[in-house]
């Protein structure tokens, strides 16, 4: 189940989508492999990827990552890749079936939250997300400010 609060960037993180937690309520997270070309892996190792506008979609029983920008790797000029091409996400069949069921039943969407390396393999964390309304965002900001004031007051009284 998803943890609450901010998540610090881990050592292996290449790109994070912090805006996703502001725009969506993240219900459940999945870790998926990603099918890449050689120059894409090298570009990711340099830490150059953007997933702010990316989304995941299920087509013909496969999960695809769309609008993720992995820039071309400069030394591989002749064998470079298209930076915006759709990339296949690697999940087990039962995970894909579960995603299909959850997306149909609850009106959720799939949003990539981070791209990272786990050992030698590139992975994408996708989250099932439900859109927040403007009032929900305002309420969240207000609750965060109140919590910060309470913690500040507690620290002040303990001195």
Give the CATH number of the domain where residue 124 resides: 2.40.280.10
Instruction: Establish if 151 belongs to a structural domain.
Output: no
pLDDT for 20 = 84
Q: Say if residues 131 and 23 touch (Cβ distance below 8 Å).
A: yes
Name the pTM for this structure: 0.75
Based on the structure, what is the number of domains in the chain?
A: 1
Instruction: Establish if 136 belongs to a structural domain.
Output: no
Instruction: Establish if 113 belongs to a structural domain.
Output: yes
- Higher pLDDT among residues 14 and 95, named by residue: 95
Instruction: Establish if 8 belongs to a structural domain.
Output: no
User: 3-class DSSP state for residue 106?
Assistant: helix
Each residue of 72-101: pLDDT tens digit? 887 877 777 788 889 999 999 999 999 999
DSSP β-ladder status, 24-34 and 62-66: unpaired
Instruction: Establish if 61 belongs to a structural domain.
Output: yes
pLDDT for residue 18 is more than 90: no
Each residue of 111-144: pLDDT tens digit? 999 999 998 899 999 999 988 777 777 888 888 8
Q: Say if residues 110 and 54 touch (Cβ distance below 8 Å).
A: no
Instruction: Establish if 4 belongs to a structural domain.
Output: no
| Enclosing domain of residue 83 | 13-131
């Amino acid at each position: 189940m998803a943890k609450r609060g901010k998540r610090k960037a881990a050592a292996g993180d290449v790109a994070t989508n912090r805006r996703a937690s502001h725009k969506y309520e993240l219900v459940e997270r999945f870790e998926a492999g990603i099918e890449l070309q050689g120059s894409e892996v090298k570009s990711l190792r340099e830490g150059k990827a953007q997933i702010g506008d990316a989304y995941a979609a299920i087509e013909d029983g496969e999960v695809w990552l769309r609008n993720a920008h992995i820039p071309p790797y400069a030394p591989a000029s002749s064998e470079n890749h298209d930076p915006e091409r759709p990339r296949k996400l690697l999940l087990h069949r039962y995970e894909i079936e579960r995603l299909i069921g959850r997306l149909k039943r609850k009106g959720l969407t799939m949003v990539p939250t981070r791209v990272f390396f786990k050992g030698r393999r590139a992975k994408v964390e996708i989250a099932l997300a439900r859109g927040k309304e403007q009032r929900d965002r305002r309420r969240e900001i207000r609750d965060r400010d109140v919590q910060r004031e309470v913690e500040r007051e507690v620290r002040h009284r303990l001195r």
